[in-house]
Amino acid sequence: MEAADKKTGQPMPGPENQEPNTSVPEPASPWKVAFRRLRKNKLAMIGLGIILFFIAIALAAPLLTSQGYETMNGSDRLQGPSGAYWFGTDDLGRDIFARIVYGARISLFVGFFAVTGALVFGSILGIVAGYYGRWVDMIISRFFDIMLAFPSILLAIAIVAILGPSLQNALIAIAIINIPIFGRLVRSKVISIREEEYIMAAKAQGMKSGRILIHHVLPNSTAPIIVQATLGFGTAILEAAALGFLGLGAQPPTPEWGRMLSDSRQYIQSAPWTVLFPGISIMLVVLGFNMIGDGLRDALDPKLKQ
């Protein structure tokens, strides 16, 4: 390396060597930059607060409640909110507050596993379709199209009808109906990244296609996937509630919010609190995920905002 020694002491002078150095003192990865932007977004922070709040009450459920969500107090049926029952009681005399708190566990559990399942399978299919193209893409994309042609809740009902109504099957059904949503997103992102010049550069360096896929295509495709996963969390919870409402999800006495709505809907006039609190809970969780999802989208891709 004689040439190196010759040049070591004399880096090229010029304005380009100084200018950005002063403005950016330490290395900032694109993730850190995005996180800083997210911190400044008030709505996203409120959303994050709501989610963290529900996670906290789900974790601390036994500490927050004086009685179990199954305990029936025969003499206290359809009582309004009071000091003893903060959110009132339902038609079987169960404490609605306890059911809401334990229900948070169910909803977050369903949201997490349904999104994870859809994300994993959708991403694999999307990457394969996007990177290999041609007939592989044809088959996978048509499969997605067929699934998307059904109204999603109808497809979920059909899947649960085949598997039998239970919380676990509802979760599987929600994961399946969300596969094409993630799959198409990943596919389109992979297709656009594949044409980037740094991918051609990676090929020119002599990298194998597997390495290009994992080290170059995937890291640049994650931003929209993270956003979709966050938004999908809310949707999955909503879908679980819908299936629960239809009696196809969690079975009694599981305190699932959708199921609670359905079981109490005949008392909406006489005892509105029985539907009000599960309804508000569903709304808040979904709202929280949507707010943080929107914030993430703006933070990860600031070009989209304007």
Partner 1 sequence: MTKTEPLLRVTNLKKYFPIKGGVFGRRVGDVKAVNDVSFEVYDKEVLGIVGESGCGKSTTGKALLRLIEPTEGSVYFQGEDITAKSPEEMRKMRRDMQIIFQDPYASLNPRHTVEKILGEPLLVHGVGSKAERRKKVEEILEIVGLPKEHASRYPHQFSGGQRQRIGIARALIVRPKLIVCDEPVSALDVSIQSQILNLMEDLQEDFGLTYIFIAHDLSVVKHISHRIGVMYLGKMVELSSNEDLYSEPLHPYTQSLLSAVPEPDPDMQKDRIVLEGDVPSPSDPPDGCAFHNRCPSCMEICKTVIPEFREVRKDHFTACHLYNEEQPVN
Q: Please, which residue, 184 or 216, has the CB nearer to partner 1?
A: 216
Q: CA–CA distance from 130 to each of 133, 214, 218, 219, 230 (Å)?
A: 5, 13, 11, 15, 23
Q: Please, which residue, 207 or 284, has the CB nearer to partner 1?
A: 207
Whether the CA torsion 143, 147, 150, 156 is positive or negative: it is positive
- CB 221 → partner 1: shortest distance, Å? 10
Distance CA 36, CA 13 (A): 33
Burial of 44 (0-12, 13-18, 19+ CB in 10 A): buried
Q: Please, which residue, 207 or 287, has the CB nearer to partner 1?
A: 207
Q: What is the DSSP letter of 95?
A: B
Q: Please, which residue, 10 or 270, has the CB nearer to partner 1?
A: 10
Distance CA 84, CA 62 (A): 16
HSE, CB side, 13 Å, CA atoms: give it for residue 49: 7
- CB 284 → partner 1: shortest distance, Å? 35
Q: Please, which residue, 37 or 77, has the CB nearer to partner 1?
A: 37
Q: Please, which residue, 23 or 270, has the CB nearer to partner 1?
A: 23
For residues 256 and 244, the answer to whether their CB atoms sit within 8 Å is yes
Q: What is the DSSP letter of 171?
A: H
- CB 148 → partner 1: shortest distance, Å? 23
Instruction: Select from 131, 249, 149 the least CA-distant residue to 194.
Output: 131
- CB 277 → partner 1: shortest distance, Å? 44
- CB 53 → partner 1: shortest distance, Å? 33
Rounded-to-10 torsion of CA 278, 287, 232, 261: 10
- CB 273 → partner 1: shortest distance, Å? 50
Interaction site with partner 1 (CB under 8 A): 1, 3-4, 6-8, 11-12, 14-17, 19-20, 24, 27-30, 196-198, 200-208, 211, 215-216, 219-220
Q: Please, which residue, 162 or 204, has the CB nearer to partner 1?
A: 204
Distance CA 47, CA 66 (A): 28
- CB 205 → partner 1: shortest distance, Å? 4
